[in-house]
Amino acid sequence: SLHASVVSTVFSQMEGQSYDSRVILHVYDLAREVNDKFWWMGIGIFHTGIQFNGKEYWFYGHQFGFTGVIVLSPGIERMGTMSRRTSVLLGYAQHSKEQSDEIIDDLTRQFVGDQYHPLNRNCNHFSEDMSMRLLKGVRPPGWINRAAFLASSVLKVIPENWLWWLIGVALSANVSPPSTQAPAQTQTQTQSETHIVTDTEATPEKVTDIEAGLLNQQIEETEEEKKARKELEEFVQTVKAMPLSQQREVTTKIFMRINGHSIQRGAT
């Protein structure tokens, strides 16, 4: 029977393996209403993660120069406005556990938090790379990242600020049309007031005074923040020197501290 054939195939794939070799793609809606409208076209705004050996791996963008790979327990149904749409069994890992762990470590090195880009290097690129390497060439469905591909293609013919305005309109955001001209005035702000310098007022003497004031303010802020910035730099260097598994733990803790309260789980 078909059922017996499927069961036999599953057990033959897992024979001799002491770990859960399933590679499962979890797909989440970032904009449910938009995705519902365009789902039939194979287009949507999605977040994805890969479940492997009982853990779910995401690529998380942040401001630091160490890994953006985080490790979560599977079974996430919602996180804030994001909700799970579907899960797809992509296949079974074609490597030993040790080799698979090496692949995950290599991805940990490659996907650095401050290199995240919503169009060119996002969570879906990570999921695709992880799937391709664990399954020796098997890609996730193309629709998970089609919107980013189309958007990056559009950027070749229109300015980026127009693209983000169009995306905001699609998401029903309250945004104003972008300007195609440079502003006709220069704005400077001090702690006590905001002063607008128009083109007719911006004489060399006044501009010099403004620049000097901003420079002094910047120097004062730099001195006040110097210790904190140095501590942050030391923290980043300390994390980068850690074993890759510990780097993932640090990034996961940062992510959970920010987002953990909004996570809702279902059955795994």
To the query of whether residue 123 is one of the catalytic residues in this protein, the response is yes
Active site residue: 47, 95, 125, 261, which one? 47
Return contacts of 187-191, CB within 8 angstroms, 24+ apart: 188/213, 188/214, 190/217
In the 3-class helix/strand/coil scheme, how is the chain assigned residue by residue? CHHHHHHHHHHHHHCCCCCCCEEEEEEEECCHHHHHHHHHHCCCCEEEEEEECCEEEEECCCCCCCECEEEECCCEEEECCEEEEEEEEEEECCCCHHHHHHHHHHHHHHCEHHHCECCCECHHHHHHHHHHHHCCCCCCCHHHCHHHHHHHHHCCCCCHHHHHHHHHHHCCCCCCCCCCCCCCCEEEECCCCEEEECCCCCCHHHHHHHHHHHHHHHHHHHHHHHHHHHHHHHHHHHHHCCCHHHHHHHHHHHHHHHHHHHEEECCC
Paired tokens of 261: 């309260």
Residue type, position 256, single letter: M
Active site residue: 95, 123, 125, 195, which one? 123
To the query of whether residue 47 is one of the catalytic residues in this protein, the response is yes
Q: Is 136 exposed, middle or buried (0-12, 13-18, 19+ CB in 10 A)?
A: exposed
Answer for the pair 113, 59: CB distance below 8 angstroms, yes or no.
Answer: no
* Residues labelled as active-site residues: 47, 123
